[in-house]
Amino acid sequence: MAGVIIQMLGLLIFVFGFFPVKPALSGFRYNSVSVLVFSSILSEPKHCGPESFCAPGFDSIQNNSAGNLPPDKLRSLYQELSGVPTSFDKLIVMVVDGLPAEFVLGKDGKPLRADLREAMPYTQSLLANGMAIGFHAKAAPPTVTMPRLKAMVSGAIGGFLDVAFNFNTQALLDDNLLYQFFKIGWKMVMLGDETWLKLFPGLFMRHDGVSSFFVSISIADMNSYGGSLLFVAAHIYSALHLSCELLKLTSNMCRIPMLQVKDTVQVDQNVSRHLSDELSRYDWDLLILHYLGLDHVGHIGGRNSILMAPKLKEMDDVVKMIHTSRILNQMNNHGKTLLVVVSDHGMTDNGNHGGSSYEETDSLALFIGLKNDVPTSIQDTVYQIDITSTLALLFGVPIPKNNAGVQISEIFKHLADDKKLRALELNSWQLLRLLQAQLPGVSCNEVSGISKCNGSLEKMFCCLYMNAAFLHNSWMSKAVSRLKHGEEYNTAVGAYNEFLRIASEWLSRRITDKPVNLLAFGVVAMLTSCLILLSLLYLTCKEDFGRERICLSNFENSSMHAWHLDEAFTFGVVFVLVISMGSSSMVEEEQYIWHFVASTLTLLLLRKAIQSLKFEGAQSFFSLFKGQNKTSGFQTSSMALFLVSGRILRGWHQGGVNWTHLPDISKWLEQAGGDYIKAIQLVTGILVMTLSLISLSTLEVNRKLVKVIGFCFLTPGFLVLHHILKHQGSMLAPSSYNATMLVQTVYLVLGFATLGTVVALPWLSSLSTSKTCSYYNSYVGPSDPVELRNKSLLVEFTNSLFVIGWAYICSCGQQNKQWVEIAAVYYMGMAGHYALGNSNSLATIDVAGAFIGISSHSTVLSGILMFIITYASPMLAILSMVMYISVKSSNYLALPSYMDSGELLKSMLCLPCLVPLSLNSILLVAYTVILILMRNHLFVWSVFSPKYLYVCAITVCVYIGVSVVAATVAYTYSVVVFRRTIRASAVMEDT
């Protein structure tokens, strides 16, 4: 426990020390306003008004009363100082969640696919006629909604851990566009994703928010259902859906019942139902529409879902409605309206997002209402953060302080040359101030001439800025002959663009200086914990080896001191994993290592089992499962079957990053049709239910109790089979309430059945009906030998553990060294983790599946389900240690009779708990060191950091699993000992 606690503290300290929280300048631009600007701006250069409109190095006088100027006066002040004429009076921001820019603008200069062009005909006509300008806006990882919305309104790239805060959005306190608009008196309306309401509470005069996370899927969305019921339902309910889970289908074929209407349709109807009314009103200045349906379609069916084209057509109709009512037919007295259609992120082929692949970062920025002289569907790629500075300059408000983006030059082509340079100047001032906040050595107050930019980073930034400012002033000074100096104008523009590009790139990838002391303390703590756990593991094995009981109880004396091939391989796997962590490609494709490890270790154990068989003549094959070969024969056949099943599992789903497009079994079944899916579900469901009941019936104790437990777990299985037959063939199920209630019923029954089995079984179990343990059926009294009493107690104890372990998972063990067996189970659990479609990319996190059976959004419940879904396989592997301990009863019966309860429990729990903890601890420490070494690597935030989050999560999984195993075994043993003591006292009183 001390080792685990030290490791947890070290891990927490390291995580908060390593992952950056981007430095932000506090306050808002409108807090720095000088009243002196009203008299004479040019004659008082040091009193130039708001900070945003002052050159760096010129101080604006702070005045508290100025910060409280009336909105209309503040708006006039901004327009006067900006120098960039406002082109529009009202703004409509339409966010289409998850829309890849490729769906609207094409990719790599290639023409847009015909089906996509036909899905959005009006939008394509706007692009073709020059009435809209579209850009591929590259989003920064993590590509999830909340940090991407922050980036679009503040221009700042959030910290990597924003992916965690995405599920518990808090108010945005940094300087941003919405607060700037609010300060100048804009009236704002929001319809759609309620994330906006959480980020900007109290800013909207009207709003209708819908949950961004709640996807109401009835009993199972098997496309992304990562096996949560594998853990909750032990093995019955999950196995019924194993085929769908392994398939990770990207269509509508694997649903029980299918997607409900409100998942993809109603969630957007809640937005559009108010749109017509809002477009007829003129009491607002900013209208925000955030549509969620397309993102839900992606999560459910992927990019190529048959629901995608109708959803794109729906979005196209919204664009048409807005364009025809507020842009083409706008009234003069209400001003001009700009429509900006953006997406927060893209999506992978299977509809997920969160990572840094091109498909996930390819978001859209479409400006409708600007005249494009060169009509084309494809413009240059920009960055998503560039939207902030562009809108700020278009509408004459200060650029937010922490903006790292650069204005999109194409949007300002309609301005005069001096106004274009003024826009570049304002953007440069803002970025230079941000540079000065992070690099105190940047001080650029003198503009003397053109110079070559070399030297330190601070000097380079100053040089680039001063060159641009000098060229700008030089061009401006030639007012009479300005038209004849086009080359000087282009040179000034190029100089500004060079400074803006280099500054933006540096600020975007800026990593906060990490506190070395915290990082060092975290690493030392984790290393200390690792040494503690490994020392305990070594001492335990040494103690068992000395007694020749647990670790070496199944080997001949001649081989006691020899290392066997399976043991050496199990030990060497750790080194292979550690070495592979240093390669970004191996991190991305880690599933291949685990598949190789699981299959190779099984092959070695199969070889060992075959060697233990004793053949006798020509009839040896028929005696394989008889006599002394019975156990080895069963092991041999089981491991051979596991090899075949493992190979099928390996080919079921193409995981990782680079080769997901290759064919696999899931894609083949998807193309084959829903009938094949239904058949697989029914067959696997019935098979696993049957095998589970057979395994439970082998324990011939208290038959009535066993039947009750089996019935409790069997009931949800039949409910699932019923829904497979009833709902598998339909595309859209009309009902939602009944299906959601059914899922909740299944969760409830399975939860209470598992908890009831764990808690009540040790009190209700009895040896009175046992046939296999008749020697111990008669009462064993206090006068009987200690060895006999201990063996009787252990038989009852292990029988209880077997049933409890069955409630967690079905498992079996091989007769090898115990630490090898436990490591093998752990490796198999990790192989299963990747086989179920998981990877080291945040894009494979199952968001939609985390809301199955939840009638309203709950961050806690959804987070728990998401964790269970992702780590179902490793958790099951660890929980199988409960049954593993029960099937090792022969080892414990052979322990010395003088051992007390503490020694006995230590012998049972040490290896099943220490081996997973030690293996995970080695990998945790190793990857922590590698992450430090790779801190400046090109892929530190796209590959290595997401992997480290998964390492932290699997560490939590191991903690939880080991705690459950230890608590279960200790509780069961305590109850059995207590009951036996009570019975002994009662017998003594009777005698």
Which tokens in the block code for residue 267? 């969630």
Per residue in 636-691, pLDDT (tens digit) is 777 888 888 888 878 877 777 777 778 888 778 777 777 777 888 788 888 878 87
pLDDT tops 60 at residue 316: yes
Where residue 962 falls among pLDDT bands split at 50, 70, 90?
A: very high
CA distance 570 to 823: 7
Quote the crossing angle between the two packed helices 674-697 and 665-672, to the nearest 10°: 120
In this predicted structure, what is the pLDDT of residue 734?
42
Other CB atoms within 10 A of residue 611 CB: 9
The 10s digit of each residue's pLDDT in 772-789 is 444 444 444 444 444 444
Q: In this structure, are residues 290 and 97 in contact, taking their beta carbons and an 8 Å threshold?
A: yes
**pLDDT (tens digit, 9 = 90+) per residue, 790-812?**
555 666 666 676 676 666 654 35
461-476 pLDDT, tens per residue? 888 898 888 888 888 8
pLDDT classification of 213: cutoffs 50, 70, 90: low
Choose between 716 and 296: higher pLDDT.
Answer: 296
Token reading at 590: 């880690």
Q: Examine the pLDDT at 932 and tell me if it is beyond 90.
A: no
Residue 939's region, left for phi above 0, alpha for psi from -120 to 50, else beta, is alpha
> Which of 161-175, 180-194, 742-756 has the least mean pLDDT?
161-175
ω into residue 257 within 30 of 0, thus cis?
Answer: yes
Could you read off the pLDDT of 221-271 as tens digits, one per residue? 333 333 333 333 333 333 333 333 333 333 333 333 333 444 677 778 888
Quickly state the pLDDT bin for 438 (edges 50, 70, 90): confident
Q: What's the pLDDT score for residue 250?
A: 34
Q: Which alpha helices (DSSP H) does 509-590 contain, by range?
A: 516-547, 565-580, 584-588
User: Looking at residue 26, what is its pLDDT?
Assistant: 57
Q: Output the CA angle 200-206-210, nearest 5 degrees.
A: 70
Res 214 pLDDT > 60: no
Nearest Cα to Cα of residue 511 among 899, 17, 129, 988: 17
Who has greater pLDDT, 702 or 822? 822
Determine which of 40-49, 264-273, 350-359, 445-454 has the lowest per-residue pLDDT on average.
40-49
Tell me the one-letter amino acid at 181.
F
- The highest-confidence range among 217-231, 575-589, 835-849, by mean pLDDT, is 575-589
pLDDT of residue 797: 65
**pTM of the predicted model, to two decimals?**
0.67
Within a 10 A sphere around the Cβ of 131, how many other Cβ atoms? 17
511 has pLDDT over 80: no
Tell me which residue of 754, 749, 726 sits closest to 739, measured CA to CA: 726
Average pLDDT, the chain: 76
Q: Strands 337-342, 90-96: parallel, antiparallel or unpaired by DSSP?
A: parallel
Tell me, what amino acid is at 754? T
615 pLDDT band, cuts 50/70/90, is low
For residue 546, is pLDDT > 70?
no
Can you read off the two tokens belonging to residue 383? 């960055």
Answer for the pair 954, 827: CB distance below 8 angstroms, yes or no: no
Length of the chain: 991
Q: In this structure, what token pair is assigned to residue 315?
A: 């979005």
More confident residue, 220 or 197: 197
The pLDDT of residue 188 is above 90: yes
Is the predicted pLDDT of residue 550 greater than 50, yes or no?
no
For the cut 80, the answer to whether the pLDDT of residue 182 exceeds it is: yes
The angle subtended at Cα 897 by Cα 893 and Cα 898, nearest 5°, is 145
Q: How far apart are CA 146 and CA 142, in angstroms?
A: 10
Lowest mean pLDDT among 59-68, 505-514, 711-720: 59-68
CATH number for the domain whose boundaries are 86-218+266-323+336-415 = 3.40.720.10
Tell me the C-alpha to C-alpha distance, in Å, between residue 593 and each of 87, 601, 602, 652.
57, 12, 14, 16
- Three-state SS at 470: helix
Least confidently predicted of 373-382, 507-516, 552-561, 870-879: 552-561
For a pLDDT cut of 70, what percent of the chain falls above it? 72
Give the pLDDT band of residue 64 (cuts 50, 70, 90). Answer: very low
How many whole angstroms separate alpha carbon 410 and alpha carbon 581?
A: 44
User: How large is the average pLDDT for residues 721-737?
Assistant: 58
Residue 159 confidence (pLDDT) above 80: no
Among 21-25, 209-213, 579-583, the range with the most confident prediction by mean pLDDT is 579-583
Residue percentage of the chain with pLDDT more than 90: 21
pLDDT of residue 462: 87
HSE, CB side, 13 Å, CA atoms: give it for residue 75.
12
User: What does each C-alpha distance from 188 to 68, 91, 185, 283, 288 come to in angstroms?
Assistant: 20, 10, 9, 9, 8
pLDDT confidence of 39, banded at 50, 70, 90? very low
Instruction: Specify the higher pLDDT residue, 244 or 980.
Output: 980
Residue pair 523/925 in contact by the 8 Å Cβ criterion: yes
Q: Which residue(s) pair with 136 in the sheet?
A: 364
